[in-house]
Amino acid sequence: MPRAAALAVLAALLGGAAARADAPPACVTLEDFARTRPGEFPAGWKPRTDEGRKLYTVAEEPGRRFLRAVVRGLGVQAAKPAGWDLATYPVLAWSWRVREFPRGADERAPATNDSALAVYLLVPYSRFVGPKAVKYVWSERVPAGARLASNYGLTQVRVLRSGAGSKGEWVEERVNVLEDWRTLFEDGGTPTPAGLGVLTDSDDTRSSAQGDYADFRACRG
């Protein structure tokens, strides 16, 4: 091969490698709980009330550190401020595990609206009434795919998983939160997240609930 042609091929290969190196990673970590010692409330998180600091603590198993929720007759959210580019990373991924469903819970009725596991995408809206949110729920009774609403429509709920068939097992989820935002709020824009949140609650059923959360990531697809 002539020297000029060889140099052109080499330049093309190097250029391709540089382009690949500059490409955004497939996923970015939002929370892996590595900065928090087991037994403590997670660093960088905020409970809706101080009671939440006792309900949510970091735990550890071989190869995984995670957030454990143990709740009796309470409903307190915990959230982590986090912003990322939804246009680049429209998919939210995480793992969760049900340990105990709240007794008699059914998210379709206000009197029984408790969940063993719920994950929120939080988007700024109002300093007075709070953020808008897409909420993903693992329900014991409500069919997967059901859509609900709360907080005067500011929280749009999607039942992502239903039933106790995988109780006690880690399950990984991947949802296109940008598509869900646009569909559920009938908004064609691309919001900037304020963060993510979790809720394990049993206040309406006056029972108890337990669940685990791990490996929150924002992904390209």
Domain boundaries, the chain: 25-219
Q: Do the beta carbons of residue 47 and residue 77 sit within 8 Å?
A: yes
Q: Do the beta carbons of residue 214 and residue 61 sit within 8 Å?
A: no
Note the pLDDT of residue 73: 97
Residues in CB range of 169: below 8 A, 6 or more apart: 97
Query: Model's pTM, two decimal places?
Result: 0.88
Note the pLDDT of residue 130: 87
Positions of the chain with pLDDT under 50: 1, 3-19
Task: Determine the residue type at 133.
Answer: A
Note the pLDDT of residue 169: 97
- Tokens linked to 94: 């995480």
Q: Do the beta carbons of residue 191 and residue 107 sit within 8 Å?
A: no
Q: Do the beta carbons of residue 142 and residue 102 sit within 8 Å?
A: no
Note the pLDDT of residue 15: 47
Q: Do the beta carbons of residue 115 and residue 137 sit within 8 Å?
A: yes
Note the pLDDT of residue 1: 47
25-219 is classed in which CATH architecture? Sandwich (2.60)
